[in-house]
Amino acid sequence: MATVVIFGGSGYIGTKLAEHLLNSQMVNIVLADIRPVKISDKRISYIGCDVRNSIDLSLFPAGEVSWIFNLAAVHREPGHEVHEYYQTNLKGAQNVCAFADAVGCNNILFSSSISVYGPTPAPTDELADKMPNTAYGISKLVSEYIHRDWLAARPERRLVIVRPGVVYGPGDPGNILRMVRAIKRGFFLLPVSGTIKKSYGYIYGLLESFDFVMGLPDRFAIYNYVEKETIPLAGMIAAINRAFGYSGKMIRIPISLLLLAARIVHFVSPNLNGIHPDRVKKVARPTHIVPGFLRDRGFNFSYDFESSLYDWLARSPGDFK
């Protein structure tokens, strides 16, 4: 039985990917991460692994490794010192590629980010210029080229690079769930108009895209994953109201007031990452990403934003209580 290794396997995408692989094929799965994770299936094993350091081959089971998924990264912005993004993301890419060399694995899927494009107020597909303006985005773009160097070394190798938007879904406490909870309370405060677009990707649609692109004959593929149509924030709020029977409204307030409030909260509770001045600024920046590769190859997008909410509610209703 083939083995799949997921670096960064204890994270949200990694754990969902492991469940997805078990449902779709017979494989042994190794979750390699610095953070332990609870495991409920004997076909999944956990290995403590810090990708910033050389990877100890003796920790891994012997046998063929059919695919490596490199999801390991420092990604929260803000939340880390600048050097941490480079230290983890660049060294991680180098060490994972060295591990693939050592075990003779010819297939890697690397999770990059739409941050490699920088600000994207206009529709942005994979052919757009790359102008990252954060340490995270820069480190991810350089990491892409580290993986591409690995690919170029041998003709039998395959590489898939995915650039996801904001990923959300069951069990994820991130931006979309915070929006749903705010609307449930009756209002959602924003420093921008409802016409701004923020690209997003539902976790199960993302995993379906993995299957689709890995099944293509391309030796190298690089693609964006967001839902096919990015609707504006006002449309997202309307969809949330319909899906959950809420009547919440978006309230626009000056960014100066939100920044002042965030600075006060951050001063009083600096470890409260959900409320941070940099996050307020990030909310005000549009991200309008287009999944051009998937669209052109005929990928069937199973979800739009509203249908993903119904699916989420059916799978994990407790998230919304």
pLDDT tens per residue across span 178-205: 999 999 999 887 777 788 899 999 999 9
**What pLDDT is recorded for position 245?**
95
Report d(CA 277, CA 118) in Å as an integer. 19
Each residue's pLDDT tens digit, 131-180 = 999 999 999 999 999 999 999 999 999 999 999 999 999 999 888 999 99
pTM for this predicted structure: 0.92
Q: How many domains does the chain have?
A: 1
**What pLDDT is recorded for position 82?**
76
DSSP state of 90: H
55 domain residue, yes or no: yes
305 domain residue, yes or no: no
**What pLDDT is recorded for position 250?**
87
Q: What is the residue whose two structure tokens read 């985005």?
A: 137
126 domain residue, yes or no: yes
**What pLDDT is recorded for position 78?**
56
How far, rounded to the nearest angstrom, does the alpha carbon of residue 164 sit from its chain's CA centroid?
Answer: 5
Distance separating the N- and C-terminal Cα atoms of the chain: 41
**What pLDDT is recorded for position 170?**
97
**What pLDDT is recorded for position 177?**
94
**What pLDDT is recorded for position 2?**
81
Report d(CA 136, CA 151) in Å as an integer. 23
**What pLDDT is recorded for position 267?**
62
**What pLDDT is recorded for position 268?**
65
User: Of 117, 118, 52, 115, nearest to 83 (Cα)?
Assistant: 52
Q: Which two tokens stand for residue 3?
A: 């083995």
Residues lower than pLDDT 70 in the chain: 75-80, 255-256, 258-259, 261-262, 265-284
- CATH classification of the domain holding 107: 3.40.50.720
**What pLDDT is recorded for position 42?**
84
**What pLDDT is recorded for position 253?**
78
CA angle 63, 48, 2 (to 5 degrees): 20
**What pLDDT is recorded for position 189?**
79
**Are the CB atoms for 74 and 89 separated by under 8 Å?**
yes
241 domain residue, yes or no: no
**What pLDDT is recorded for position 266?**
62
R_g over Cα of the chain: 20
267 domain residue, yes or no: no
What are the CA-CA distances from residue 199 to residues 61, 161, 209 (Å)?
39, 18, 16
Residue 129 dihedral angles phi and psi, to the nearest 5°: -60, 145
282 domain residue, yes or no: no
Q: Which two tokens stand for residue 75?
A: 């990604």
User: Of 244, 211, 228, nearest to 4 (Cα)?
Assistant: 211
**What pLDDT is recorded for position 31?**
97
Q: Residue 46's domain spans which residues? A: 3-164
277 domain residue, yes or no: no
